[in-house]
Homo-oligomer: A and B are copies of this chain.
Amino acid sequence: MPSSFSAELRASATAEEEAYRHIQRALRLGRYKPGDRLIPEDIAAEIGMSRMPVREAFRRLASDGLVVLRPNRGCIVAGLTVDELYETFEMRSVLEGLAVRLAMPRIDEDELEELERLLERMERAGRSGSNDWVVRHQEFHGRICALSQRPKLMHQIAALHAVIEPYMRIWFDYVEKPLSARDEHAALIAALRSGDARHAEQVMQDHILDTAPILVEFVTPSRRQTPAGEK
């Protein structure tokens, strides 16, 4: 969550909320791999609660597309097929494109400088490892989305990011330091500076769709159909 840490300030939420965040974070960090089973009792014990709130958290995570829930068969970490991964990028492309277009009226020089700072930080983070880079990358995209001032749109985009994040990590670890990333994001800032909303939308769409094939290529080796062969 790039900029919505504020929600975590209220420490004493419900147990379900705690379970939801706990599992979500674990998934983001790649602690579980696609196809892995999430055992309610184990997770409940980890956080110190009963199975019930964990079960409820599972429902929400399933709605987010992060896990798959089958009746009487438990909860497994959702894996994306190559097609689904690509589809997710297609959806991101139009939604983030929309976000950029709507954000344009609120782009000023201050904001552009802030984005350049974030780009610089992303670049630096890229040297220390995939974890930091992915977080910074999310932050950069999240900043632009936030300027659209569309809460539901942001929520959707964040959900899509959460699904592909583990794959971004794998990708980053393979290619060491993606050189193209800096140029692409710099081009994005340039497009924003142009002031042409439609143009910026197109640049964002192209940027996201450009990433997809590279990522797909690196993910293909460990290609697992949804739950590793349906067990």
Binding site for B on A (CB under 8 A): 13-14, 16-17, 52, 55-57, 59-60, 62-65, 71-72, 84, 87-88, 90-91, 93-95, 97-98, 102, 150-153, 156
* 23 pairs from A and B in contact (CB 8 Å cutoff): A13-B71, A14-B71, A14-B72, A17-B71, A55-B56, A56-B59, A57-B59, A59-B59, A59-B63, A60-B60, A63-B63, A65-B152, A84-B151, A84-B152, A87-B150, A87-B151, A87-B152, A88-B152, A90-B98, A90-B102, A90-B150, A91-B95, A156-B156
CA distance A14 to B72 in the complex (A): 9
Q: Is the interface of A mostly helix, strand, loop or mixed?
A: helix
Shortest Cβ distance from A97 into B: residue? B94
Contacts of A151 in B (CB 8 A): 84, 87
Shortest Cβ distance from A12 into B: residue? B71
As for how many copies of this chain the complex holds, the number is 2
With contact pairs A14-B71, A60-B60 given, residues A153 and B87 touching in the complex (Cβ less than 8 Å): yes
A49 to chain B, nearest CB (A): 15
Contacts of A84 in B (CB 8 A): 151-152
CA distance A141 to B189 in the complex (A): 36
A139 to chain B, nearest CB (A): 22
CA distance A150 to B52 in the complex (A): 34
A21 to chain B, nearest CB (A): 14
Contacts of A95 in B (CB 8 A): 91, 94-95
